[in-house]
Amino acid sequence: MTGGPPNVPAMAVDSVTKTYRRGKSEVQALRGVSLAVHAGEIVALLGNNGAGKSTVMGIAAGLVAADSGRVTVEGQCVTDGGGRPSRHLGLAPQEEALYPTLTVRRNLTYFGRLSGLKGPELRSRVEEVAGHLMLSDHLDRRAGELSGGQRRRLHTGLALMHRPTVLLLDEPTVGVDIEARAELLDFVRATAAQGAAILYSTHQLHEVERLGARVVIIDRGRILESGSVADLVVRHAPPLVDLRFSTDRIDLPRDLLESLDEAGWTNSGQYRVVARLAATDTVVAHVVDHLGPGAQAVLQGASVLPPDLETAYRRIVRASTGGSVPDPDDEGAVR
């Protein structure tokens, strides 16, 4: 794979805005979004449902018109005239785009031919993509007969057939089992190692860490933060102690009150107190001993939450919205 000049992003999103009109109301999907992806880099786009991730993907692919701003792919603007697709770009959107009555082989072959592949090169690429996505044993099965995870992998494979220099993957592991997910993530890393620039939308934070991706966090159409996982964790995820009590009438030590991060009732009927710790090596027994007999008597659970990407993500989004951080015991804490 070849890209543009050194230090020039393979894809650049510059101050893009987008508003959708639904009847008499308007929804601002993007509010001046800017980001860049360089050759050989994976950028993970993180955000809750409705944050604007898919709109970024659609505009970058030239399929959705931006209201203002511009997107360039390998130096060529794809947002002029309401949007135009780039031959340098491959997109695997959330919605599957397969021909269910055609076999896996014919689906891959068709999309390969659309991108100009033919003859031995086309046949070799079909075998290569199928092998990386664990579909070699299913090449002669109709796409409509595949499992949900297998269809999802085939869907991703269609975007890879022409070896794009910029690849947009919108939640590619939805419905994919654990083994196939690992293979897919390895393939994404290998594709980046060959020089592709990859924008990877997901809400699976462990995938971000496995990919070694740079993180861009988007919420309500705005970019909140960006940086490496390590950088975001250092800046936004201090070690925390998570205490669960049977009552909210607790006499907490002054230092815990001064470092309070959040407090409130959980769905499980416990009063939860989360406080920042000054030292990264603090163990939970030391915190419990420090509580005093009154708080200890109503304590139902305690744990130290080490710094991680999930904590950083939740704190960044909470700071933006002014809302509370979801209880990690509740389904849907990070989406």
Selected residue with higher pLDDT from 180 and 313: 313
* Residue 86: band (very low, low, confident or very high) from pLDDT cuts 50, 70, 90: confident
Is residue 239 scored above 90 in pLDDT?
no
Which pLDDT does position 147 carry in this prediction? Answer: 87
Selected residue with higher pLDDT from 192 and 311: 192
Which pLDDT does position 142 carry in this prediction? Answer: 96
Alpha-carbon distances, residue 305 vs 35, 150, 319, 327 (angstroms): 31, 36, 19, 13
Could you report the per-residue pLDDT of 21-35, keeping only the tens digit for each?
888 888 999 999 999
Is residue 333 scored above 70 in pLDDT?
no
Could you report the per-residue pLDDT of 144-189, keeping only the tens digit for each?
999 888 888 899 999 989 889 999 999 888 877 887 788 888 889 9
Which pLDDT does position 154 carry in this prediction? Answer: 92
Name the percent of the chain lying above pLDDT 90.
65
User: CB 116: neighbour CB atoms within 10 A?
Assistant: 10
- Sequence-distant (6+) residues with CB within 8 A of 130 are 104, 105, 108, 136, 138, 139, 157
Distance CA 78, CA 85 (A): 6
Which pLDDT does position 181 carry in this prediction? Answer: 84
> For strand 89-92 and strand 240-245, is the pairing parallel, antiparallel, or unpaired?
unpaired
Query: In DSSP terms, which residues pair with 76 in a beta bridge?
Result: 73
Domains, the chain, ranges and CATH? 11-233 (3.40.50.300), 238-306 (3.30.70)
Which pLDDT does position 285 carry in this prediction? Answer: 93
Which pLDDT does position 262 carry in this prediction? Answer: 87
Is residue 332 scored above 50 in pLDDT?
no
Residue identified by tokens 């309500």 is 220
Of 168, 167, 158, nearest to 115 (Cα)? 158
Mean pLDDT of all residues belonging to the chain: 89
